[in-house]
Amino acid sequence: MQKTNCSLPNETIEACKESHAILLGAVGGAVGTDRWKDHPTGDRPEKGLLRIREQLGLYCNLRPAILYPQLKSASPLRADLVKDGLDIIIVRELTSGIYFGKKSRVNGDCDETTFATDELYYNKKEITRILEDGFNVAMKRNKYVTIVDKANVLETSKLWREIAEEVANKFPEITYKFMYVDNAAMQLIVNPTQFDVIITTNMFGDILSDEASVLTGSIGMLPSASLGNTTLGLYEPSHGSAPDIAGCDIANPLATILSVAMMLRHSLNLEAEAKSIENAVGAVLDCNYRTKDIFEEGKILVGTNEMSNLVIKELK
């Protein structure tokens, strides 16, 4: 965006559509000043990300939160809460909900009469497909789903629950329960191992995935995949661009490297290769190498480049 002043030029969309998979760098801009505050059309980097998800129909966002056994003491949670590790996957709806509903700003000058709206919209098709995808993910894991909503307040959440009952009928082997989002935010802290697959809306998934990620030691460890109806997928680290440490060679590259593993698995059908990347990351952690975000006493501190090279060496 810095180069073209446009968050998503048409050439980029075209190139993405012709690809088998997309690896996306983290999104965000310079720290402190908001460089795009006065953009003539209100364009911003985040808008590019939302548009690319929408234009490519990538409605299903998979965000695994895995606490590597080597990083147990990097988790902010008490040791007894994570003694058996953590392995949660958040299945987040990604192309509808409050992110994409109608927005308005009336009497825009911000005086007493000014107001703004963001519509929270979901239709049956959108809810059904994300629930089905989430249940299919659960079939390959422990067959246990938690559907997170706010059905005590929101009409869209009530609709989610009705449709969830329908979808669940097609998956008799799966145990599922509903949980309000406020309670889920708390349960992730007090009893995180109760979760396996969490299926939720765009906004709740955004918030809970940041929360879940940090339980695993560092958001710098977590990959993500955004999928649609074809094998075309977009892969990106769950974290932002961390402009405050740009160029310092201290950022953790593992979330991006693990995103490549997800890309090999979900878009390119290369399961063995995906596993070998994940194993290489595990091996480098076993050898006690740590970037700053996951560093602790007694470990070997390495920078972004060195960490990447260690994983490459291990792969070879």
- Kindly list the catalytic residues: 99, 150, 182, 206, 210
Query: Using CB under 6 A, which residues numbered 19 to 78 contact ligand IPM?
Result: 27, 46, 49-50
118 binds ligand IPM (CB under 6 A): no
Tell me how far, at minimum, the Cβ of 52 lies from ligand IPM, in Å: 11
- C-alpha atoms less than 13 angstroms from C-alpha of 266 in its C-beta half-sphere: 26
91 binds ligand IPM (CB under 6 A): no
Chosen from ligand IPM, Mg ion, none, partner binding at 74 (C-beta under 5 to 8 Å by type): none
Tell me how far, at minimum, the Cβ of 28 lies from ligand IPM, in Å: 7
Which lies closer to Mg ion via its Cβ, residue 171 or residue 235? 235
The residues, ordered by sequence, that sit 6+ positions from 24 with a Cβ below 8 Å of its Cβ are 49, 52, 234, 235, 236
Rounded to whole angstroms, how far apart are CA atoms 180 and 1? 38
Q: How many CB atoms lie within 10 A of CB 69?
A: 12
Which lies closer to Mg ion via its Cβ, residue 46 or residue 132? 46
Which lies closer to ligand IPM via its Cβ, residue 133 or residue 206? 206
Residue written as token pair 């490459």: 312
Tell me how far, at minimum, the Cβ of 188 lies from Mg ion, in Å: 15
The number of residues that bind ligand IPM (CB under 6 A) is: 5
Tell me how far, at minimum, the Cβ of 250 lies from ligand IPM, in Å: 22
Q: Which residues bind Mg ion (CB under 5 A)?
A: 206
Among 126, 206, 278, 293, contact with ligand IPM (rule: CB under 6 A):
206
93 binds ligand IPM (CB under 6 A): no
Which lies closer to Mg ion via its Cβ, residue 237 or residue 253? 237
Question: Residues interacting with ligand IPM, by CB under 6 A?
Answer: 27, 46, 49-50, 206
